[in-house]
Chain A
Amino acid sequence: MNAYAGKILRVDLTTGRISSESTTKYNRSWLGGSGLSQWILYNEVKPDTTAYSPDNRLIIGTGPLNGTLAPGASRVSADSKNPLTSGVGSSNADGHFASELKFAGYDHIVFQGKARRPVYLWIHDGRVEIKDAIHLWGKTTWETDEIIKHELGDDNTQVLCIGPAGENISRGACIIVNRGRAFGRCGLGGVMGSKNLKAVAARGRGFIQVADPSRFIRMVDELRKRFNDESLQRLIKTGTAGVIEYKQKMCGIPYKNFQHLVLPDELFKKIDIDDMQDTYRLRNVSYMACPRPCSRYYWMDQGPYADLRTEGFQLEALVDFMGKLAVEDPSFVIKANAYCNQLGLDIDSVAGAIGWAMECYQRGIINVNDTDGLKLEWGDTSVILELIRKIAFREGFGNLLAEGCAHAAKLLGRKSECYAMHIKGQDLYEVIRSAIGWGLGTCVSTRGGGHTTGAPTIETTRTVDPELAAKVYGVTTINDPLAFEGKAKLVWYFERLHRINNALGICHFVTTWSSPILLGFPEIAELYSAATGWETTEEDLKEAAARMLNVEKAFNILHANFGRKDDYPPPRCFEEPIPTGPFAGFKLEKKKWDNLLDEYYELNNWDKKTGFPHRKCLEELGLKEIADDLERAGKIGEDN
């Protein structure tokens, strides 16, 4: 089969049964990656199944461009019911796993059931074995990666695995691949742990072919030239952290659990991204088919964390630890990021829960009697490291924080809920108040926050040529983060682009998400057409993405009872004016957000009152069964 490996692997961990089915059952409608996985989830996981139940599925998915020279085709998705929100769980990681899995003969792996004891899955050239993992239980992700490669005797084996956090079903546990890449959001490490599945190892000596090699390579060559543009080189030098200055001035950075949306000058001066590169960077690192090597290996050869060697931090880690938790030492960001990776914890979840706890401590809602004697002072690095460890092992106060801030606040009570910054139950990383498109994309995201399923990063990271932006994105307000106008349309665009990227296996950073000169729908459609031999237009891709979005939306409605009420920012965003910095005094107006949601629902053909899709919208996308399901549940769009 062109572009696809051709088979979907099914593993029932309860019975040990291994089977496979043809990818053709799904790929014309659902393309691959997360799109295909979400369709399987919708059909096979019932609304009353909990995320940690053996009946839940965990699906690892590649796309048709993985394994080829298509720029940035190194992404792999993991999808499951989300233990933080009870709705859609979808996460995406870089690394070498996607191409290796396809070379081994499979596009997707669907896990169900629960193994009686810890196991890992070994896939090699079409052969599949469930292997004992008792000796790996308790090991960090780095140790697990090393031991598995050693025992399988092949360094080219690619491993994705969980650490102690996933084993202990810490709600914010993630899955790690290539030691430093994470399926970070949505707590999928805990789902893996609940199945007693420690790791998946893949090694393949097969190949991927495309339908029209000369057409495909012509497009690849043309696209790769675009990456020489001067405006794209900063990312290579500094990674995403290089936009910290723009964020500070133009969109805001959460500080002390979002109490402020700007870093204090004194703290901001301590962050010299270029100096950090000179001091700690060992080399840049990237993954299959990447023309834009933006990650880095760091070697700490001095200071309190000397001798740490790790794949490095991106902007998110900087904001989580220096922003949300007010740490003053930039080198701690590298340490904390690595420590979370080793234990298998999502940094956003960790910083969300600890940030909430520190604000509660600041306000006297909790004290040392609640925290195992720890003084939760802002920026205390040894306390933060100890809390990270406790969260991973669900030890003492860490057992509460392991629930994530939303669940933890409910359990604690004491009016701590208003300091739990989350969307749909998942800890928040993004600022909402000072970047409206970014905020909207985050709030309506089906997976519960996050900025990679609809939020326009370009609004918050750089100024772009307005004419070009208008042509590509169809809006004229992209350089004005505080404008409401055009932002619903912008989110509409990126919700579709992100779904196509996640379905085909390409990185957002090679697309118009990052720059209007990079790959948009027309270029991606050409790559997909040449690769598969199925002529596909820009409009076809947008329709496929809408189909995926509506499946996710229906999953959220049926499983988590989400609707319009869940697409709002945390209440304090409407109640507290921004206290300091360039946006001081600005407060989000409820009425304006209402209008923004109306416009966004209208663009999607969803009911403005409830946020539910209309039957007509679903039927036009070929989703009649979903319309029937929603109607039976009494949750289908009514007006219109």
Chain B
Amino acid sequence: MFETMDCTGCRTCEIGCSFHHRGVFSSSISSIEIKNNPKDLTFSIVLYGEASNGHLTCDGCQGLQEPFCIKYCNVLARNGLEAILNEFVRK
């Protein structure tokens, strides 16, 4: 799980991710999940290194020029997500 100051919580990455994996839109099979913490108004990003509870393993969208979660992220959050994904893939 990654903390981020940039994420706007739109969760578009989730359905971009499911579209990459299965060609459908779904928040519950995506390899990325956005958690909203309504009390302190923050968001956390969960990346699945292995399949869990229906969520598929993140493959970093290997072979694609741009991972789908980043491609569909918005202008404010994209750089932050890219850094997180790079860190995750490196690990």
The chain A residues found within 8 Å of chain B, CB to CB, are 67-69, 74, 96, 99-100, 103, 145-146, 155-156, 179, 204-210, 213, 217, 224, 227-228, 233, 236, 282-293, 297, 299, 309, 311
* Cβ-defined contact, B25 with A155, below 8 A: no
CB-nearest residue of chain B relative to A294? B8
Can you report 18 A-B residue pairs in the complex whose CB atoms are below 8 A from each other? A69-B72, A99-B15, A99-B25, A205-B26, A206-B26, A207-B22, A207-B24, A208-B26, A209-B24, A210-B25, A213-B23, A233-B75, A283-B8, A285-B10, A288-B11, A289-B72, A290-B12, A293-B10
* Cβ-defined contact, B41 with A69, below 8 A: no
* Cβ-defined contact, B74 with A293, below 8 A: yes
| Among A205, A283, A292, residue most surrounded by chain B Cβ atoms (within 10 Å) | A283
Give Cα distance in the complex from A228 to B36, angstroms: 26
Whether B9 sits at the interface, judged by CB under 8 Å, is: yes
* Cβ-defined contact, A288 with B23, below 8 A: no
- 9 smallest beta-carbon distances between A and B, as pairs: A207-B26, A205-B28, A297-B41, A286-B10, A207-B24, A293-B8, A286-B8, A209-B24, A208-B25
Give Cα distance in the complex from A283 to B44, angstroms: 13
Given A284-B76, A286-B9, A288-B11: A99 and B40 within 8 A (CB)?
A: no
* Cβ-defined contact, B41 with A103, below 8 A: no
* Cβ-defined contact, A146 with B19, below 8 A: no
What does DSSP make chain B's interface, helix, strand, loop or mixed?
Answer: loop
When the two chains form the complex, which single residue of B5, B38, B40, B54 contacts A205, counting CB atoms closer than 8 Å?
A: B54
Least CB distance from B14 to A in Å reads: 8
Given A69-B25, A155-B35, A156-B27: A213 and B19 within 8 A (CB)?
A: yes
Given A69-B19, A293-B8: A224 and B26 within 8 A (CB)?
A: no
Residues on B with C-beta less than 8 A from A209 are 23-25
Interface string of B30-62 (1 = CB under 8 A from A): 000001101111100000000000100000000
| Among B15, B40, B77, residue most surrounded by chain A Cβ atoms (within 10 Å) | B15
CB-nearest residue of chain B relative to A282? B41
* Cβ-defined contact, A69 with B15, below 8 A: yes
* Cβ-defined contact, A283 with B10, below 8 A: no
Give Cα distance in the complex from A224 to B5, angstroms: 23
CB-nearest residue of chain A relative to B38? A179
Least CB distance from B3 to A in Å reads: 12
Residues on B with C-beta less than 8 A from A67 are 15, 25
| Among B5, B23, B24, B25, residue most surrounded by chain A Cβ atoms (within 10 Å) | B25
Residues on A with C-beta less than 8 A from B76 are 236, 284, 293
| Among A69, A228, A282, A287, residue most surrounded by chain B Cβ atoms (within 10 Å) | A69
Give Cα distance in the complex from A208 to B41, angstroms: 29
Give Cα distance in the complex from A55 to B40, angstroms: 41
B interface size (C-beta, 8 A): 33
Given A69-B72, A99-B27, A207-B29: A288 and B15 within 8 A (CB)?
A: yes
When the two chains form the complex, which single residue of B19, B39, B54, B75 contacts A217, counting CB atoms closer than 8 Å?
A: B19
When the two chains form the complex, which single residue of B10, B28, B35, B40 contacts A290, counting CB atoms closer than 8 Å?
A: B10
Residues on B with C-beta less than 8 A from A96 are 11
Residues on B with C-beta less than 8 A from A311 are 41
When the two chains form the complex, which single residue of B10, B35, B77 contacts A289, counting CB atoms closer than 8 Å?
A: B10
Give Cα distance in the complex from A357 to B16, angstroms: 50
Residues on A with C-beta less than 8 A from B9 are 285-287
Given A68-B15, A99-B27, A213-B19: A288 and B41 within 8 A (CB)?
A: no
* Cβ-defined contact, B25 with A207, below 8 A: yes
Residues on B with C-beta less than 8 A from A299 are 41
Residues on B with C-beta less than 8 A from A205 are 26, 28, 54
* Cβ-defined contact, A284 with B8, below 8 A: yes
* Cβ-defined contact, B24 with A208, below 8 A: yes
CB-nearest residue of chain A relative to B74? A293
Give Cα distance in the complex from A293 to B9, angstroms: 9
Given A224-B72, A236-B76, A290-B74: A285 and B8 within 8 A (CB)?
A: yes
When the two chains form the complex, which single residue of B29, B36, B74 contacts A292, counting CB atoms closer than 8 Å?
A: B74
Least CB distance from B86 to A in Å reads: 22
* Cβ-defined contact, B10 with A288, below 8 A: yes
19 new A-B contacts, CB < 8 A, other than A156-B27, A209-B25, A284-B76, are A67-B25, A69-B19, A96-B11, A99-B25, A103-B27, A103-B28, A146-B38, A155-B35, A204-B28, A205-B54, A206-B28, A207-B26, A208-B26, A227-B75, A228-B75, A286-B8, A286-B10, A288-B10, A288-B12
Least CB distance from B75 to A in Å reads: 7
Residues on A with C-beta less than 8 A from B15 are 67-69, 99, 288-289
Give Cα distance in the complex from A311 to B36, angstroms: 13
Residues on A with C-beta less than 8 A from B54 are 205
Given A207-B18, A293-B74: A103 and B26 within 8 A (CB)?
A: yes
Residues on B with C-beta less than 8 A from A179 are 38
CB-nearest residue of chain B relative to A290? B10
Give Cα distance in the complex from A431 to B45, angstroms: 43
Least CB distance from B85 to A in Å reads: 18
Give Cα distance in the complex from A293 to B12, angstroms: 12
Given A236-B75, A293-B76: A69 and B35 within 8 A (CB)?
A: no
Least CB distance from B29 to A in Å reads: 7
Residues on A with C-beta less than 8 A from B27 are 99-100, 103, 156
Least CB distance from A211 to B in Å reads: 12
Least CB distance from A520 to B in Å reads: 22
Residues on A with C-beta less than 8 A from B77 are 293
Residues on B with C-beta less than 8 A from A100 are 27
Give Cα distance in the complex from A291 to B28, angstroms: 21
CB-nearest residue of chain A relative to B7? A283
Residues on B with C-beta less than 8 A from A285 are 8-10, 41
Residues on A with C-beta less than 8 A from B5 are 283
Least CB distance from A110 to B in Å reads: 24
Residues on B with C-beta less than 8 A from A156 are 27
Give Cα distance in the complex from A227 to B10, angstroms: 16
* Cβ-defined contact, B25 with A68, below 8 A: yes
When the two chains form the complex, which single residue of B7, B18, B19, B39 contacts A309, counting CB atoms closer than 8 Å?
A: B39
Given A209-B24, A289-B10: A69 and B75 within 8 A (CB)?
A: no
Residues on A with C-beta less than 8 A from B23 are 209, 213
Residues on A with C-beta less than 8 A from B40 are 309
Least CB distance from B1 to A in Å reads: 13
